[in-house]
Amino acid sequence: MLTSVNSGVYTKSHISSSRRDSRTQLCTMVEPISKIDRRGRVRVQILNLKSVVSKERSVNMCKAVLIRRWVKLEMVQETMDNFWSNMLIKITQSINVLRLVQMETLLTYTSVSLCGPLFVKFGISGKDLHKREKPVLPEAMGLVAGVILCLFIRQPSVLLCTMAGLWIGALDDIIDLRWRYKIIGSALAYLPLYQNLTTVVIFGRLIYLGPLYHVYMLLWCIWCGNAINIHAGINGLEVGQTIVMALGLLPIVDDTATLLSYICVAMGLFALNYYPSMVFVGDSWCYMSGMFFVSIAQHETETLAFFMLPQIVNTLLSLPELTGYCECPRHRMPKYDAENDVLVASGKGTLMNIVLKITGPIHEKKLLWTLLAIQVVCVFIGYTFKS
């Protein structure tokens, strides 16, 4: 297996954790085959792998070299300065690619429109509680959108994680999965992301976490989908929040093409889930998106955390109810004032209720755009800390 691999990654932490002589040896045996990217990484070719393996004294280091395709140099700080100019280039590139990937939007819109009535027929439906007539709408449309997205995911690890999230969410939509199974499932979904490289970049510094890295990533896998799922309850919010986060990640992640496919699929779904909703996206969309974000932004989780500040606040506000300290009803969404067609704070611990307390009763659509605007602000806070 070792001889079939011919490239690898080398990070600052590996440099410092290895002895000086082995560092020199490794550096002379790799040859840069790309320019240094904005994260201070350069793609390398290992010139003579057998000699790397036999001469290296640190087994861990050899493994780390073999599992990845990049060398990370000690340039983190310097390359951060180019962040904003790189972002502009990436946005221009994305606009060009976007022209080609609109197909995902059309495919999602058509498939969801066609599958909706079928789902209602099989009883997978729910009442839109914030409308006077309480119309019955198809549920779990995230399942249809998720299957389409999986056709466009290029990286195997991202595909496996996304599929795991989709399974957990779909089962939750159909048979109301118990919390413990959702947690176990999310933890198992981390397996495709397992790697020997256990460093994270926090405030521009590479931090070596060791075995704690796996605990950190497991928590991300468990939390991310759930956090999206509990920041929900008004038309368009489940998909809307994920679109903002995905757009925010565009200039940051490597696999822009897959992320654009995600955005296009989400747009198709948003068109049908936006007020007044024709379909509900269900837990399948929330759990799938959570796993998708963790897998595609595995090396950018600190920035993702900034983007997800509203979800973090919402989770913290929800803790007393989620842990059973206070009563937790089936729905913690705002109350509906049918006479004035507005939403009123329900007193439950959610960010939505806090916003409604500040703004006073407002229309569902207005509440959606307020919450999305907060999410956009958090994306820019994330950029500020990154640059």
User: CA neighbours within 13 Å on the CB side: how many for 175?
Assistant: 7
Instruction: Provide the minimum distance between the beta carbon of 381 and ligand UD1 in the complex, in angstroms, as a whole number.
Output: 24
User: Using CA atoms, how far apart are residues 180 and 182, in angstroms rounded to an integer?
Assistant: 5
- Using the rule CB under 5 A, is 284 a contact of Mg ion? no
Instruction: Provide the minimum distance between the beta carbon of 129 and ligand UD1 in the complex, in angstroms, as a whole number.
Output: 4
225-264 residues in contact with Mg ion (CB under 5 A) are: 229
Q: Which is nearer to ligand UD1, 239 or 378 (CB)?
A: 239
Query: Judged by CB under 5 A, which of 283, 333, 375, 379 binds Mg ion?
Result: 283
Q: Which is nearer to ligand UD1, 151 or 326 (CB)?
A: 326
Contact 221, 298 (CB under 8 A): no
Contact 235, 208 (CB under 8 A): no
Instruction: Provide the minimum distance between the beta carbon of 141 and Mg ion in the complex, in angstroms, as a whole number.
Output: 12
Residue reference for tokens 């199974």: 181
The CB-nearest residue to ligand UD1 is 126
210-249 residues in contact with ligand UD1 (CB under 6 A) are: 229-230, 232-235
Instruction: Provide the minimum distance between the beta carbon of 142 and Mg ion in the complex, in angstroms, as a whole number.
Output: 9
- Using the rule CB under 5 A, is 198 a contact of Mg ion? no
Dihedral of CA atoms 242, 245, 246, 249 in degrees, nearest 10, equals -160
User: In the stretch 278-297, what mask flags binding to ligand UD1 with x, by CB under 6 A?
Assistant: --x-xx--------------
| Neighbouring C-beta atoms of residue 229, cutoff 10 Å | 20
Residue reference for tokens 């000699």: 51
Instruction: Provide the minimum distance between the beta carbon of 213 and ligand UD1 in the complex, in angstroms, as a whole number.
Output: 29
- Using the rule CB under 6 A, is 332 a contact of ligand UD1? yes
List strand residue ranges (DSSP E) for 338-387, in order.
342-344
Task: Enumerate the β-bridge partners of residue 137.
Answer: 126
Task: Name the phi and psi angles at 280, rounded to 5.
Answer: -105, 145
Instruction: Provide the minimum distance between the beta carbon of 169 and Mg ion in the complex, in angstroms, as a whole number.
Output: 8
- CA dist list (Å): 350 to 194, 312, 365: 33, 11, 18
Give residue 74's identity as a one-letter amino acid code: E
Binding site for Mg ion (CB under 5 A): 229, 283
Binding site for ligand UD1 (CB under 6 A): 126-130, 139, 229-230, 232-235, 277, 280, 282-283, 318, 331-333
